[in-house]
Structures are given as structure tokens and as C-alpha cells.
Amino acid sequence: MGHQDRAGESPEQVRHRRRQAEPAARLKPAEREDTTKMAIEVKIPDIGDFHDVPVVNILVSVGDTVALEDPLVELESDKATLEVPSDAAGVVKEIKLSVGSKVSEGAVILLLEAEGAAAAPAQPAKAAAPATAAAAPAPAAAAAAPAAVTDVGFGKAHASPSVRAFARTLGIDLAKVNGSGRKGRILREDVTKAFKSVAAPAAAGAPAQGGMGIPPIPVVDFSKFGPVEDVEMPRIKKISGPALHRSWLNIPHVTHNEEADITDLDLYRKELDTAAKADGYRVTLLSFMIKACVSALKTHWEVNSSIHPDGDKLIRKDFYNIGFAADTPNGLMVPVIKAADRKGIVEISKELGALSAKARDGKLKGEDMSGATFTISSLGGIGGTSFTPIVNAPEVAILGLTRSKMAPVWDGEAFVPRNMQPLSLSYDHRAIDGALAARFCATLKFLLGDVRRLML
């Protein structure tokens, strides 16, 4: 009804013309529903200078309902697993990547289907308004906002758990970040701006063309000299390499070498280890080293500090989180023993075992490797007499351990065999001078010389 047949039209042409003229109200319910939904692209945010970061886990599936800041995927970045949260709410319509994909800033993670988009057409008008375009320079002023220091401590900062983890991974103190979200909530974008503002001075100090920049390593065709093969580097090495390079270039490294007598301590350790085996864990020298380092760090707080972004102050930390380098099939990982000053030898030993197992199995999360104030790198199980470990910025020192050895030591009357442990302390000379490094190592030597001192 309401349609007039035209002369000469076949029945099929009439039906086609009528179908084209049907009102939207005659659409099927599912088709009408699509007109009130909008597909939103959720993308990888700006996470600094990282590029081609591999996806190691996808945390959602098609059809899942996602809330704002729910984690979507995990990325392996700078020896840490980073969760990327959603910046919108809705239902997962399509996932655009897979485990193993390499992504950079701006890559599409997935499509979300958001309800209630009927009012959405009004939004583009704001973006098209000339007033908005005129305000484009504003981000330059906003970038300076993170430099302001608030009175709110990191633990009380108004931010989600994912944003906190993101900030810890980048070494950003949330207490010094102004939130741009509702009621001052700190968003990932705020943390990114703070990170860039800290990195900007280094970039500004880069030498001009023709200056004394770092010369490139020459490219050599090794196939001219014999058979060669390109072997893919493990993911962890590809990610940690730039971070180590950055630390080596930015930090004036100095290494102080010392030896500590651990004869009596190691005898006591072996007794504890024998008993611990029955309970399924081991007591290694590293447990005692962590305990000794905490005591020495309390005496020499500068070794536990970080250099303030303004370069004029040290950040004194009243907490003691000790990172330890763990050798894994995939490369070097650095888990962290949190609040080591509040734990005994047994508890530290159990946690060392648990974190080492997670590292070997590739199950460490970002929170397992964040927040360290001091790091220990031990090669004692392999060998060596000394080495120069690279400081893990923004920390200012790292302790290297090699294999202990029996050596003759003069006791005032005769040479006696003692078990001597080499200590190699690499430090940032901007924060720690040679005298302080020597005093720190002397304190360690004193503590390790008598196990009873560690119990005080």
C-alpha cells in the first residue's frame, strides 16, 4: 500500500523499488541496534621511546564487557610486563592483534562497541570548531604540569593500580604528577608527560651537528671472512639492551672493589640450608647479602637514593627494596624483594626461591620487578674475581658478587685460610663519591665478618 506500480515495470523491479523505499522502522531489531552503537578503536598509548614491543598476553576475548581502565593486553617492556588498560568502556567487538605481535604507540588493540552513541554525532562538531584549533598550543603548557610537586605521597596518589604500575616502571613519582582527570585523577597520559619532561633535558643537551657526538659503529660484512649466521636475540635482551645503554651513557660509572671474610657466615649458612632442604627451599649467600646491604644502606642512605629530576637534590628513600639479577633461559631478569628490612633470612630465602622460579618460567609481572632502591648482581655460581655491573637507573648503585675463594689472611700472628668474598660496587659518581663508596663497602665487610651483627 502507498506505492504506485509504474507502467512497464516487471514484478521483480517493483519489489526491488519497494524494498529501497522501506522506512528504517521496518529493519530487524539487530539492524536497528547497530544504529545506536559505535565502534571505538582502543590503541597502544605513548609509553616513551619503546618501539616494536611484543605482546605476551591478551587478557580479553570477543564478547567480553570492558570497563574503563580494565587491562586488555600485556606487553614486555624494559624487563617488565606492562598491562595496557582500556581508555573506554564497552563490549569487545574485534581483537586486532595476537600474542607475539610487535606493537608501537598508536597500534590498534581492539574495537569496542559502546552503547548509547545516539548523541555521538554531536561530538565531532566540537572538534571542528575553530576555537578548538586555536587552542592547539595548550599542550606545551600542560607538559610542564608534572614538574609541580604536590603534598600527596605516592601511596595516596589518586590513580588506578594500572597507572601506578606504569609509573613505577618508568620511574615516575606520582607524588610529583598533577592529574588531569576528574577530581585530579592521574591518568596514563599524565605519567607519560612527566616521563617526557624528565627525559627532555637530556635531549636538549645533545650535541649540535658537527659536535662531539657518539660515532656510529662501522658496519662490517663478516661473510667476506667466513661463514656467518644471523641469530635472533632473546626478547629480554632486545628490550633491556637500550635501557642498559641509556644508563651507561648517562651515568658516570665508577667501581670500587673490596673483599669480605665470610668464613663463619658461610658455615652458619650451610647449617640453615641443610635444615631448609627438608622444607623445600634453599638458603644461599644472597639472602645474607641482602640483609647486610639493607643494614649498610641504612647507615649510608645516599647509596639507597636517586638523583632528583632537577639534578640539584637527592631523593632520600625510607624503604628498602632490593633487586637481584636472575639468570634465565630468556635472558637476565631483575625481580625485587620488597620491604627487605622487615624480613628475616628465612623469609628472604623463600621469596628468593619463589621469584627465581617465576623468572625461569617467564611468569614475572611488572610489580615483581618494580620499585627497587638497590640491586645485587651475583655471578658467584659461575666464577670470576670482579666485574663492573651497570647501575640500574634511577638507582645510584649496584653490588656485584663473584665466587668466594679460600685465601691466606694475616691475623696478626700467622697466615690463616679464610673464605674471602669479592665485592664490586658500581656507583653513580654524581650521587656517591669515592670516600662514601669505600665506607659503604667497609660497612658491608664489617657486617659480613660476624653473622651476629646481621641480627641486630
Helix residue spans in 121-226 (DSSP H): 123-128, 130-134, 138-142, 161-170, 188-204
Contact, 352 vs 276, CB < 8 A? Answer: no
Cβ contacts of residue 216 below 8 Å, gap of 6+?
none
Q: Which of 380, 371, 379, 378 is nearest to 340 (CA)?
A: 371
- Active site members: 429
Contact, 404 vs 380, CB < 8 A? Answer: yes
Per-residue three-class SS string for 247-313: HHHHCCEEEEEEEEECHHHHHHHHHHHHHHHCCCCCCCHHHHHHHHHHHHHHHCHHHHCEECCCCCC
**CA separation for the pair 162, 68 (Å, rounded):** 11
Phi-psi region of 411 (alpha: psi -120 to 50; beta: other; left: phi over 0): alpha
Query: Phi, psi (5° rounding) for residue 188?
Result: -60, -35
Helix residue spans in 361-405 (DSSP H): none
Please give the grid coordinates belonging to residue 142. 600542560
Q: Which of 377, 369, 365 is nearest to 321 (CA)?
A: 369
Contact, 130 vs 60, CB < 8 A? Answer: no
